[in-house]
C-alpha cells in the first residue's frame, strides 16, 4: 500500500484509505471504560506540557478511577475524583500545563441540565491553563464525532469512548452494578466500548490531527509540544503491541475550504475485500450501504470468509432507532440473498440476567492480521458526514509481522467476555466447532451470552425511512433532498436488492 500524503488522491480521483502511517513504540487496546478512566487519570497526572481532549461529549461530573475500591486506592484524597475538579487541580499543580478541550457544539444546551457542570465550566473559564471550545466546523446536519486524547504529543488515545456519563462499565457487565451510576444517582444499563492507547510518533500524528481540528473550530494556532523524554504511558500497563506502525484514517465532510475525506469508508471496503478466513467486528450500528455491499460481494463468492458482527439489540433513542434499526434489518435481508452459506451473522450480547449490553464499540479484526479501532460506526454518517478518526495495525506493513498473536489474544478475550467464559477455553472451542458462529451457538445457555440478532418485521413507514436513508444520509447535500430523489440503501446497478 502506498503511503498517501494528507488529502492526496490517486489518479482516478479516489480518496485514499489512509491519511498517515507512523511508528508507535507501544500500543494497547483498552476494553470498557472502567479501565480506561483509571488509565487516563494516571496518564493525565504525568502530563507536562499539554492535554488535548477532543470528543463528541464531555461531562465534568464523571468520576475518574471509579473502578478502584477505596481500600486499594493509596492516593485517595490527594487529588479530586471528578473530571472537572481534577483538571483544575492539574493546572494549579503544573503551572505550565495547558488543557485544551474540544466538544461538538450541538450538545451545548445539555450543560444547562447538568447541574454542577455549570460550576465546573465557570471554574475552567477562570483558569488560564484551560481553554474549552465548541466545534461547529462542519456543514449543517453533521457532527464532530472524534474521540481523541493527546498528551505532550507523545501519548494519545483514539477510539469510541467519550469522557462522559453512561460510559463506565467493566468487562463483567454485571446485571445491576451499583457503580454504574449517573451523576444524578440513577443507574444505567451495561455498556461495552473500546479504545486504543498509543505512544510515540503515531501519537504526535494524532496531535497534528487534533491541532488542525482545534484551529478549524476557531481555537487559533496551536504549536506542537517540545520533544521530551518523559511519557504519559501509565506505568502499570504492559502494552499488547510494541514497535508497530499505526495507520490513521479519517472521515470529514466538505466544508468551506476543507475538501471531503472518505478514507474510513475506503478502508472498510479494502479490509473486507482482503479477508480470507474471517472478520470479527463490533459496531454500534450496521446501516452503511458501502459496507453492506462489500460484505454481500464476499458472501456471493464460492468460499466466503466468516463475517461475525456484534451489535446492540437496538439503537438508543427513537430517532436513532428509526434511522438505524430499520436499515439494519433491510440490509441483513439483502445480504442474506447473496449468502447461501449463512456466513454473515449478527449477534447481540446479554448480561447474566437477560439485559442487552449496549455495544458502543467501533472495531474490526481481519484474519488476526488487522485490528482497527476508532470512532466510526458502520453507518452512512460515519462514512461521509461526521468528523471521524480510526487507527489500525496491519501485520502486512513493514515491521508489523509480530503482531498476529496479540490480535488473536484480543479476539479471544472479546469472544470470552461476550460468552461469559474464560479466554483460555476459546482456542479449543474454536478448533472443535470450526467457526466463531458455530462455537457461539453451541455455547447458548442462560447467563452472560451472545444471541443471534432476530430480524423483525418492519412497517411500511419503517421500510420507507430505511430505504431512503432519510436520517442517515451519505453526504450533507442528501439531507435536503426530497424523499423521491434520495439516493438510499438500494441503487440501480448495485449488488443489493430491496427486500420484497
Instruction: For residue range 436-474, list pLDDT tens digits in order.
Output: 999 999 997 889 999 999 988 888 877 787 777 777 888
Q: What is the 8-class DSSP label of residue 458?
A: P
pLDDT of residue 468: 74
* Spatial CA neighbour of 386 closest among 108, 144, 109: 144
Q: Say how far apart CA 281 and CA 286 lie, in whole Å.
A: 11
* Spatial CA neighbour of 123 closest among 86, 162, 96: 86
The SS3 of residue 356 is strand
pLDDT of residue 27: 98
83-99 pLDDT, tens per residue? 999 999 999 999 999 99
Most confident of 135-139, 177-181, 372-376: 372-376
The more confidently predicted of residues 7 and 253 is 253
Q: What is the 8-class DSSP label of residue 297?
A: H
Q: Say how far apart CA 281 and CA 461 lie, in whole Å.
A: 30
Q: Which residue has the cell 497534528?
A: 208
pLDDT of residue 72: 40
The SS3 of residue 131 is strand
In whole angstroms, how far apart are CA 193 and each of 34, 80, 169, 182, 406?
10, 25, 9, 17, 19
* Spatial CA neighbour of 312 closest among 279, 268, 347, 351: 347
Confidence of residue 5 (pLDDT cuts 50, 70, 90): very low
Burial of 66 (0-12, 13-18, 19+ CB in 10 A): middle
Q: What are phi and psi of 18, to 5 degrees?
A: -140, 135
309-335 pLDDT, tens per residue? 999 999 887 667 777 999 999 999 999
| pLDDT above 60 for 1 | no
The more confidently predicted of residues 206 and 480 is 206
Q: Whole-number mean pLDDT of the chain?
A: 90
Most confident of 9-18, 317-326, 353-362, 472-481: 353-362
| pLDDT above 90 for 106 | no
27-83 pLDDT, tens per residue? 999 999 999 999 999 999 999 999 999 999 999 999 987 544 333 444 555 888 899
382-398 pLDDT, tens per residue? 999 999 999 999 999 99
Task: Taking residues 357-378, report their average pLDDT.
Answer: 98
Query: Cell for 369?
Result: 492480521
pLDDT of residue 80: 87
402-422 pLDDT, tens per residue? 999 999 999 999 999 999 999
pLDDT of residue 166: 94
The C-alpha R_g of the chain, in whole angstroms, comes to 22
Which residues on adjacent β-strands are paired with residue 144? 387
DSSP per position, 62-127: PBTTTTS-GGG-TTBTTB-SBHHHHHHHHHHHSTT-EEEEEEEGGGGGGGGGSTTHHHHHHHHHT-
Domains of the chain: 24-228+235-242 (3.30.870.10), 244-485 (3.30.870.10)
Q: Are 217 and 135 in contact (CB under 8 A)?
A: yes
Q: Name the pTM for this structure.
A: 0.93
pLDDT of residue 7: 43
Query: Cell for 267?
Result: 478502508
pLDDT of residue 172: 97
Query: Cell for 54?
Result: 477532543
| pLDDT above 90 for 170 | yes
Q: What is the 8-class DSSP label of residue 424?
A: G
Residues 6 or more apart whose CB falls under 8 angstroms from that of 60 comprise 82, 83, 84, 85, 87, 116, 117, 120, 121, 124
Q: What is the dihedral of CA 225, 229, 230, 236, to 10 degrees?
A: 130
Q: Are 290 and 270 in contact (CB under 8 A)?
A: no
Q: Are 20 and 6 in contact (CB under 8 A)?
A: yes
| pLDDT above 50 for 268 | yes
pLDDT of residue 13: 37
Q: Are 342 and 112 in contact (CB under 8 A)?
A: no
Query: Cell for 225?
Result: 509540544
Chain Cα centroid distance, residue 318 = 21
DSSP per position, 234-280: -TTPPPSEEEEEEEEEEEE--BTTBPPEEHHHHHHHHHHHH-SSEEE
Q: Say how far apart CA 150 and CA 422 lie, in whole Å.
A: 34
pLDDT of residue 473: 86
- Provide the percentage of residues in the chain whose pLDDT is more than 70: 90
Amino acid at each position: 500500500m502506498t503511503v498517501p500524503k494528507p488529502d492526496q488522491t490517486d489518479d482516478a480521483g479516489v480518496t485514499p484509505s489512509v491519511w498517515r502511517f507512523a511508528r508507535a513504540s507501544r500500543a494497547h487496546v483498552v476494553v470498557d471504560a472502567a479501565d480506561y478512566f483509571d488509565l487516563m487519570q494516571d496518564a493525565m497526572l504525568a502530563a507536562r506540557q499539554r492535554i488535548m481532549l477532543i470528543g463528541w461529549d464531555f461531562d465534568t461530573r464523571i468520576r475518574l478511577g471509579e473502578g478502584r475500591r477505596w481500600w486499594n486506592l493509596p492516593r485517595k484524597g490527594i487529588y479530586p475524583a471528578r473530571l472537572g475538579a481534577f483538571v483544575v487541580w492539574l493546572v494549579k499543580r503544573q503551572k505550565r500545563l495547558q488543557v485544551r478541550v474540544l466538544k461538538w457544539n450541538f450538545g451545548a444546551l445539555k450543560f444547562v441540565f447538568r447541574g454542577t457542570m455549570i460550576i465546573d465550566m465557570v471554574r475552567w473559564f477562570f483558569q488560564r491553563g484551560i481553554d474549552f471550545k465548541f466545534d461547529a466546523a462542519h456543514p449543517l446536519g453533521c457532527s464532530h464525532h472524534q474521540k481523541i486524547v493527546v498528551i505532550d504529543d507523545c501519548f494519545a488515545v483514539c477510539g469510541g469512548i467519550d469522557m462522559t456519563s453512561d460510559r463506565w462499565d467493566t468487562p463483567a457487565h454485571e446485571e445491576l452494578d451499583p457503580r454504574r451510576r449517573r451523576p444524578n444517582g440513577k443507574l444505567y444499563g451495561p455498556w461495552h466500548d473500546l479504545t486504543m492507547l498509543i505512544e510515540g510518533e503515531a501519537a504526535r500524528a494524532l496531535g497534528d490531527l487534533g491541532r488542525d481540528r482545534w484551529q478549524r473550530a476557531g481555537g487559533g494556532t496551536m504549536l506542537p509540544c517540545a520533544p521530551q523524554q518523559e511519557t504519559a504511558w501509565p506505568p502499570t500497563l504492559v502494552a499488547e503491541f510494541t514497535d508497530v506502525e499505526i495507520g490513521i484514517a479519517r472521515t470529514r465532510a466538505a466544508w468551506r475550504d476543507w475538501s471531503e475525506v472518505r478514507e474510513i469508508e475506503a478502508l472498510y471496503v479494502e479490509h473486507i475485500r482482503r479477508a480470507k478466513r474471517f472478520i470479527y467486528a463490533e459496531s454500534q450500528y450496521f446501516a452503511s450501504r458501502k459496507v453492506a455491499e462489500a460484505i454481500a460481494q464476499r458472501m456471493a463468492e464460492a468460499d466466503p470468509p466468516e463475517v461475525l458482527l456484534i451489535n446492540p439489540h437496538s439503537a438508543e433513542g427513537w430517532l436513532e432507532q428509526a434511522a438505524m434499526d430499520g436499515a439494519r434489518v433491510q440490509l441483513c435481508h439483502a445480504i442474506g440473498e447473496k449468502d447461501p452459506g449463512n456466513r454473515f451473522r449478527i449477534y447481540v450480547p446479554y448480561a447474566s440476567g437477560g439485559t442487552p449490553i449496549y455495544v458502543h464499540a467501533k472495531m474490526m479484526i481481519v484474519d488476526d492480521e488487522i485490528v482497527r479501532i476508532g470512532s466510526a460506526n458502520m453507518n452512512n454518517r460515519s462514512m461521509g458526514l461526521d468528523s471521524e478518526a480510526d487507527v489500525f495495525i496491519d501485520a502486512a506493513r513493514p515491521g508489523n509481522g509480530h503482531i498476529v498473536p496479540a490480535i488473536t489474544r484480543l479476539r479471544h478475550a472479546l469472544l470470552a467476555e461476550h460468552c461469559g467464559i474464560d479466554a483460555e477455553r476459546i482456542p479449543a472451542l474454536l478448533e472443535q466447532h470450526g467457526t466463531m458462529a458455530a462455537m457461539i451457538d453451541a455455547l447458548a445457555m442462560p447467563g452472560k451470552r451472545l444471541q443471534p440478532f432476530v430480524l423483525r418485521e418492519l412497517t411500511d413507514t419503517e421500510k420507507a425511512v430505511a430505504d431512503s436513508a432519510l436520517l442517515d444520509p451519505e453526504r450533507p447535500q442528501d439531507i435536503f433532498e426530497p424523499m423521491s430523489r434520495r439516493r438510499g440503501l438500494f441503487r440501480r446497478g448495485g449488488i443489493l436488492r430491496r427486500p420484497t
